Amino acid sequence: MDIQVNQQPLSLPEQATLADALSAFGARPPFAVAVNGEFVARGQHAARTLRPGDKVDVVHPVAGG
């Protein structure tokens, strides 16, 4: 199936989870994740099954002052 992670196309097997997508994308903590604009808690990444066309946003915190 095809999804988007940070507006980049990513192909995953059917029934892939959000954790699978994050691993394939190479996301490294710390980060927050939203699927189709909805925040997904870290504890739910392995349980959240993705569907074709889902849009995943991975956001890293930015330090500054």
Residue 4 has pLDDT above 80, yes or no: yes
Nearest-angstrom CA–CA distance, 51 and 3: 8
pLDDT tens digits, 12-64: 999 999 999 999 999 999 999 999 999 999 999 999 999 999 999 999 998 87
pTM: 0.92
Residue 65: what pLDDT? 67
- What is the pLDDT, as a whole number, of residue 64? 78
Sign of CA dihedral 22, 28, 30, 31: negative
